[in-house]
Amino acid sequence: SVAVTAFWMMMGLDDEDDEFWSVAMNGRDEHLLLQDDHPDDFDVTSCETIERTITTLAPDSSDLRPLVLRLGQNSNDGCLSDVSGDIWDASLLLAGFLFGTNEGQQLCFNACFGKDSAQVDGGGILELGSGLGLSGMAAAAAAAATLHARDVDDERTSRVILTDLDDNNILSLLSKNVESNLSEIGEGSNLSVTVQSCDWFNVASSRGNSCRCPKGTFNLIIGSALIYIPDHAVACAETVYHYLSRSSSSQAIVIQLPDRAGFDVFLCRCRELDLLVSSRAVSEDLTMSVEKRIVSASDYRIYFIKSD
C-alpha cells in the first residue's frame, strides 16, 4: 500500500528489503522460514503434513535427559497464511530458555508449583500464539521435570494452556502435537496441558475464545515472535495485561526481534498499561541448548514484562 511504502521510505528502506514484512503486507504464500536443508528425521506422512523431531538440551548442571518432541507441521502453507506452517527460530530460542536453562526451568516451576501458584483461579502458564506448540510444551516439561526432580510427595496441581487463533487447521494440529507428546512432556496428575483458542481482539468476551480464564490469573505468560504484523501489537499487549497475575513474581516472557515493525507499539502499550518492561540479549549459553544452529540468534532479545 501507499502508506506502507511511505513508512519504509521514511525508515530508509524499501519494503522488499525485509522479506518477512513483504510477505505480511503483500500476502505472498511462501515458506519464508523453512530451512534449506531438510533433516533426516523429516517424515512426509501425507501431502498435507510433515513431521519434525526437535531436541532441546537440558542444563549442563542437571541430570535431565534432552527434551525430544515430534511435531507435525503443515507442508503446503506459508508461515504467514498459516502459523502452523513451520517452527520459527524465536520458538526454538524460547524453548531453549525455558527448558534448557536453570533460570527458565525455575521460572516454569514457580509459575506452576511455587508459593504464589496456589490461586483460586488456577495460576500456571499461558502461551500466546503457540503455533505448533514447541515453547508451550517446553515450559510444561520444565515445570514437570523440576517437580519430579525434587522427589517430594506434592499434591498441588497446575496447568499449562497453549493458545492460538480460532482456526480449525491451526488448533487441530496444535492439539495433535500436544497429545502425541504428553508422555515426553511429563504431563500427569499434577499438571494438565491443554489447547484453547484465544482471540487477542476479544479477550474479554467468548467470541473466538475457548480460553475464558478470569482476568489476572496466570503466573507466567510466554510468547515467541508475537509481533509480526503491526496491527496485532496493541491487542497483544492488552491480552498480556488481561491474563497476567498481579502477583509481584508473575511475568510475561517474550523472545522477539526488536526491530520488527509494530513491536515498538507493543512495548509502548505495555508501558501505558503500567507494565514494567526489561530486556537482555540472547546469551550464548541459551543457544547451546538449541540443537539447530540459529544464525540470527544474536539479533533476538528476551523481554520480561511485569506488573508495576
Distance (Å, rounded) from C-alpha 161 to C-alpha 178? Answer: 11
Which H/E stretch holds residue 25?
Answer: helix 19-26
124: how many CB neighbours lie within 10 A of its CB?
A: 28
* pLDDT computed for residue 286 by the predictor: 87
Q: pLDDT digit string (tens) for 123-176?
A: 899 999 999 999 999 999 999 999 888 766 667 789 999 999 888 888 999 999
Give me 132's grid cell: 505448533
Q: pLDDT digit string (tens) for 196-229?
A: 999 999 887 766 677 778 889 999 999 999 998 8
Q: How many helices (H) and strands (E) does the chain have?
A: 10, 10
Are 170 and 73 spatial neighbours (Cβ–Cβ below 8 Å)?
Answer: no
Q: Do the bridges between strand 43-44 and strand 49-56 make them parallel or antiparallel, or are there none, so unpaired?
A: antiparallel
Q: pLDDT digit string (tens) for 26-62?
A: 433 333 333 334 444 433 334 477 899 999 999 988 8
pLDDT tier for residue 179 given thresholds of 50, 70 and 90: very high
* pLDDT computed for residue 190 by the predictor: 87
Are 166 and 209 spatial neighbours (Cβ–Cβ below 8 Å)?
Answer: yes
Are 305 and 250 spatial neighbours (Cβ–Cβ below 8 Å)?
Answer: no
Mean pLDDT of all residues belonging to the chain: 82
Distance (Å, rounded) from C-alpha 100 to C-alpha 300? Answer: 17
Give me 100's grid cell: 534448557
DSSP 8-class letter at 82: -
